[in-house]
Amino acid sequence: MTTSEPVSLEPTSDKGESCLIVAECFGVEVPTFQGEGPSCGHPALFIRLSRCNLTCEKCDTRYTWDWSQFDPRKESTKRTVAHLVAWTASSPVELVVITGGEPLIQQAQLVPLVQGLIAAGKRVEFETNGTIAPVPELVADGVRFNVSPKLASFGVKETKSIVPAVLEAFVASRRAAFKFVASTMADLDRIAELADAHRLAPVWVMPEGTTLEAITATTRVLADAVAARHWHFTTRLHVLAFADARGR
Ligand code: SF4
């Protein structure tokens, strides 16, 4: 597996406009919902940015970073901020989810995008792995962060995926929810350790799985214990509704 970068993250277009490297945008032409977390079930538009700084074995969006399996020239395009704002403005849906990959890799270019989206009357949720602290310009009214630190059981070294100073920066932002993917009781114990150590709140738990059957089974394993800890629970609505189809 390689994460080498055969395509550079050039931040401007030939005309000097601010650009982002995008994997896919969806929700305008075929409407959909935010599938996870505090806004689960809300109508939403999605901007999925390409590239990630982690290499989780259980990643379900490898087309954003795993160039041993995917061709970055096919899986990513450069879009100007103006193009992305206009695309979202073509829909009445208020919520824009900026996800990845890891979107905050491109946060310098995200500042004008988020400012444009807020000015257009949208609200923004970032889906981030919690390893890169947001710049102050992104910690703004109308912006929320769904921070999803990855546990060792997700197939990643926690020395890379758990960055205490960054988690604490998200806590201090007061604009973050901490959403953990879990499949076992041992995962819940590890989440409790992290939540205690870094004062993470609110904690959301989401069952691991990319099929209806897996999500249902894991929900039944975890639900009582999540409730007993007074945490929040979210499903993965896009998997239940659309069978994890890309672009839904
Ligand atoms: S942080 Fe998220 S996008 Fe990046 S490799 Fe892990 S699961 Fe995939």
Domain assignment present for 13 = no
Q: What is the pLDDT along the chain (248 residues), one digit of tens a residue?
A: 334 344 555 677 767 788 999 999 999 999 999 999 999 999 999 999 999 999 999 999 999 999 999 999 999 999 999 999 999 999 999 999 999 999 999 999 999 999 999 999 999 999 999 999 999 999 999 999 999 999 999 999 999 999 999 999 999 999 999 999 999 999 999 999 999 999 999 999 999 999 999 999 999 999 999 999 999 999 999 999 998 788 88
**Minimum-distance ligand 1 atom for the alpha carbon of 64:** 3
Domain that holds residue 225: 19-242
Q: How far apart are the CA of 161 and the centre of ligand 1, in A?
A: 10
pLDDT of residue 108: 95
Provide the number of structural domains found in the chain. Answer: 1
pLDDT of residue 6: 46
Q: How many residues does the chain have?
A: 248
Residues 211 and 221: their CA atoms lie apart, in Å, by: 16
Q: How far is the CA of 61 from the centre of ligand 1 (A)?
A: 7
Question: How high is the pLDDT of residue 246?
Answer: 83
From residue 39, alpha-carbon distances to 54, 94, 144 in Å are: 25, 12, 10
Q: 2 in a domain, yes or no?
A: no
Does residue 11 lie within any of the structural domains?
no
Which of 52, 156, 161, 163 most suits a substitution to test ligand 1, by most atoms within 8 Å of the C-beta? 52
Render 142-191 in DSSP notation, one character per residue. Answer: TEEEEE-PPPGGGTS-HHHH--HHHHHHHHHHT-EEEEEEE-SHHHHHHH
Q: Any idea what the CATH number is for the domain that residue 199 is in?
A: 3.20.20.70
Residues contacting ligand 1 via CB (< 6 Å) = 52, 54-56, 59, 61, 64, 100-102, 129, 150
Domain contains 106: yes
What is the predicted pLDDT for the residue at 12?
Answer: 72
The H or E element that residue 206 is part of is strand 203-207
Residue 127 within any structural domain of the chain: yes
Residue whose Cα lies nearest atom 3 of ligand 1: it is 101
Residue 175 placed within a domain: yes
Question: Does 40 fall in a domain?
Answer: yes
Distance separating alpha carbons of residues 48 and 100, to the nearest angstrom: 5
Question: Rounded to the nearest whole angstrom, what is the distance from the C-alpha of residue 28 to the centroid of ligand 1?
Answer: 25
Report CA torsion sign: 134, 76, 52, 233: positive
Identify the residue whose tokens are 């999925």: 48
CA dihedral 189, 221, 224, 152 (to 10 degrees): 20
Residue 5 lies in a domain: no
157 C-alpha vs ligand 1 centroid, how far in Å?
Answer: 12
